[in-house]
Structure 1
Amino acid sequence: MALPTTSRAWSIRDIHSDSFDGLVLQENVPLPQLGEHDVLVQVEAVSLNYRDLAIPRGLYPFAMSLPVVPGSDSSGIVLAVGPKVTRVSKGDRVCTLFNEHHQTNPITPEAVGSGLGGAVDGTLRNYGVFGEHCLVKAPSSLNAVEASTLTCAPLTAWNALYGLQSKAIKAGDWVLTQGTGGVSLAAIQFAVAAGATVVSTTSTDDKADALKKLGASHVINYKQTPNWGEVARALTPGGLGFDHILEIGGAASVAQSLKAIKLEGVITLIGFLTSSEKQPPLMDALNHLCIVRGIFVGSRQQFEEMNRAIDSAKIHPVVDSNLFSFEDMKKAYQHQWESKHFGKVVIKIVN
């Protein structure tokens, strides 16, 4: 069977602050010749992140270059490899790496500027040619839809819990997660698998039940309990606070996280959600004698470590019950934009 030479691909042509009309489906986009270290991948599924919605609306604060094929997260099957490729083989299921030059930590300026679907062409297409450094083998225990969710949110959660080696999560630790986004859901699964106790915050009782089913031991409704930091801290042994807090709410919640953190505990700042509220001063970290750490997804090395753990612990990512077709990609964007999802929103490229 002849290898494809063109692909259908979505493209962000321009910015529309009030819609996704800048997204255009293109036919017969030429594929580049396979280089010595390149891999031809048939994309099976793509999952969405808030970043994917922010870019076509002009809300993304990091490196981007238009026009661009959107999407960073995907799983696919290797159709062909260049003669010097060693990490993957024809027939392997692979996942894409968010920042293609983030191979190991520490992250470099070059890696920060190499994000798929922003700075370089991403994954919302039928076929793509990627450098082998931009791919990792998918966990063997996951199907294509599940594997497509790993690139950003779970890897960010893994980096938050394991990336600072001297403070890596261990059995007996207490972890606080916020909300029901992809990073928080994955963090609950990883923390429980490590033998930690998880406390989560959310806004509704329905979501609280879902978080408990996932493994959270305690759930606090932050709308009913605005001072949730002290309430959460009181749940920890001796009221000493949390070893790890994944801070996703931004300015609106950092002050509460500082109230809940343990001495020498780690608050990991994640995402770029904006808020008009005043940011707590940086010196507050000194007042609470804690570590405040900003991260940007994770490295290829961490991705491979995470995938081994997923296989070992039989962890299955949380996927939204609504799956979308390639042609209905804009509907998937709108579904997530309107916060109608629970778990990762996935677009199936191959049915």
Structure 2
Amino acid sequence: MKAWVVDTQTGNAHVVAKEINDPGQPKAEEIRVAIKASSLNYHDLMVARGFMQADSGRVLLSDGAGVVEAVGENVTAFKVGDHVVSTFFPQWLAGQPTPTTGNFAHTPGDGIDGMATEYVVRSQHAFTAIPQGWTFQDAATITTSGLTAWRALVVNGQLKAGEYVLIQGTGGVSIAALQIAKAMGARVIATSSSNDKLTKMQQLGADHVINYKETPAWGEKVLELTFGIGVDHVVEVGGPATLNQSLIAVKVGGHIAQIGVLSGNEANIPVMGILGKQVRLQGLAVGSCQAQKEYVQALGVIDANPVIDRTFTYHQLAEAFDYLQSGAHFGKVCITW
């Protein structure tokens, strides 16, 4: 069967198509899933480009949605014909992450083979149901970006109606965070370097928008928009280039969910700024299987489908990565057959 893998044997990581063995029939507590769609994330890009180390020949992509084709003995979660979506940490069932549950050793497309293939056989815990009526493309956005936004604001942030949320950029995590925040009655301030994208964010419900190129000191602008108090939550995807402004923008006792490293890995952080504002700066990576189930349940009542910018075929996966890396997208980049 067909699969798309990362090839690092030449010294430069690149995506190649490959024929691999069919995984066969599921054993006890396993399910066989026909993969119908995937979505791309920055994590996938780092693996595909060789910035995150993975075995050469590793099947790519963490996110995969499809149809259950067969179930093994003692499977209680699914039946044949169910529509499902993968989990990022299949070994992390619930609760807080631990050294064994919150690492990448069993993450599809990283520690184990991913979803850029026709069929997979995995533990029943490696998938959850998808919202009723959602397409496979829509569902494929849940695993990484959607769940990350949900954990940042709801699980970790304990978001409440009326609070202010600051969102950076217009990628999958940011737009999912906007939709979650508005559905829960929060007020949203969005930043981007593109006025066109900011207009789209307003159309999706953002209460205020800031072009950070036109307003480099956007942290002060956020304080102005919040009457000098600051925001309750920051969905931090930029990293070193944005964290200092986020510390200005957040309120005393506020919460910064550190998610992304789009601007690099090394940051010069003003420790007194963290101490003075008594900020909770919390790093996170996606979430547990239980958190994903709760997110899917919420999506069943939130009237907001994911925003999909472009859809490529699996045969165009290398081109899709180029497009993701360009930063031209608004929302998610998806893959189908």
TM range (shorter): over 0.9
Are 1:172 and 2:162 matched, yes or no? Answer: yes
User: Is 1:311 aligned to residue 306 of structure 2?
Assistant: no
Partner of residue 9, structure 1: 3
Q: Select which of 115, 118, 130 maps to 2:110.
A: 118
Aligned to 1:234: 224
CA shift for structure 1 position 65: 3.4
Gaps of at least 5 residues in structure 2 are none
Other-structure match for 1:295: 284
Using the alignment, how far apart are the partners of 1:121 and 1:39 within structure 2?
A: 16
1:252 & 1:272 partners in 2: Cα distance? Answer: 9
Aligned to 2:241, the other structure's residue is in SS state: helix
1:17–1:56 contact (8 Å) kept in structure 2: no
Q: CA deviation at 1:38?
A: 0.7
8 Å CA contact 1:175–1:244 kept in 2: the answer is yes
Q: 98-107 or 294-303, which moves further after superposition?
A: 98-107
2:185 aligned with 1:185: no
What residue in structure 1 maps to residue 132 of structure 2?
A: 140
Q: Specify the alignment match of 2:332 in structure 1.
A: 344
- Give the match for residue 208 of structure 1: 198
Match status 1:273 vs 2:262 = yes
1:52 and 2:52 matched: no
2:248 paired with 1:259: yes
Equivalent position to 1:70, from 60, 82, 100: 60
Task: Indicate yes or no: 2:18 matched with 1:26.
Answer: yes
Task: Please state if 1:323 is matched with 2:323.
Answer: no
Structure 1 segments, 4+ long, off by >6 Å, are 15-18
Offset, 1:227 = 0.5
Q: Quick one: which amino acid aligns to residue 75 of structure 1?
A: A
Cα shift readout 1:238-281 (whole Å, capped 9, x = no counterpart): 42111110111111111111111111110010023343874214
One-letter code of the match for 1:230?
Answer: E
Q: Is the 8 A contact 2:66 2:136 kept in 1?
A: yes
Q: Provide the C-alpha distance between the structure 2 equivalents of 1:191 and 1:207, rounded to a whole number of angstroms.
A: 18
Amino acid at match of 2:188: V
Indicate the RMSD between aligned Cα atoms, in angstroms.
1.7
Q: Give the Cα separation in 2 of the matches to 1:227 and 1:252.
A: 12
TM-score (norm 1): 0.91
SS of 2:287's equivalent?
coil
1:32 Cα deviation from its structure 2 partner: 4.4
Give the structure 1 partner of residue 234 of structure 2.
245
- Give the count of matched residue pairs: 335
Q: Which amino acid aligns with 2:249?
A: A
- Structure 1 residues 28 and 270 mapped into 2: Cα distance closer, same or farther (>3 Å)? closer
In the aligned structure 1, how far is the partner of 2:319 from the partner of 2:253? 44
Per-residue Cα deviation, 1:20-75 (whole angstroms, up to 9, x for no partner): 6x322122523144110111000010100111111122212xx7433311001111
- Helix, strand or coil: the match of 1:159? helix
Please tell me whether residue 99 in structure 1 is matched to residue 93 in structure 2.
no
Which residue is 1:4 aligned to?
none
Going from structure 1 to structure 2, the CA distance change for 1:36 and 1:293 (only over 3 Å counts) comes to same
Kindly indicate whether the alpha-carbon contact (under 8 Å) linking 2:58 and 2:109 is maintained by their aligned counterparts in 1: yes
Give the match's secondary structure for 1:297: coil
Say which SS state the counterpart of residue 151 (structure 1) adopts: helix
Would the aligned equivalents of 2:239 and 2:265 in 1 still touch at CA under 8 Å? no
**How far apart are the structure 2 equivalents of 1:73 and 1:133?**
14
Residues of 1 paired with 2:26 and 2:260: CA distance? 34
CA displacement at 1:215 relative to structure 2: 1.0
Identity %: 38
Q: Which of 185, 188, 201 is the matching residue for 1:198?
A: 188
Determine helix, strand or coil for the equivalent of 1:123.
Answer: coil
Give distance in 2, aligned partners of 1:177 and 1:99.
25
Q: 1:314 Cα shift?
A: 2.2
Task: State the shift of 1:17 in Å.
Answer: 7.4
Which deviates further from its counterpart, 302-311 or 26-35?
26-35
**Secondary structure, in 3 states, of the residue corresponding to 1:80?**
strand
The one-character-per-residue Cα deviations of 1:130-163 (angstroms, maximum 9, x if unpaired) are 1111100011131111111111001000000012
Q: Secondary structure of 2:147's match?
A: helix
Instruction: Deviation per CA, 1:148-205: give whole Å up to 9, x if none.
Output: 11110010000000122xx400111110000111111100000000000000000011
In 2, Cα distance between the equivalents of 1:313 and 1:34? 34
Alpha carbons 2:238, 2:261 under 8 Å: kept: no
Q: Is the 8 A contact 1:188 1:198 kept in 2?
A: yes
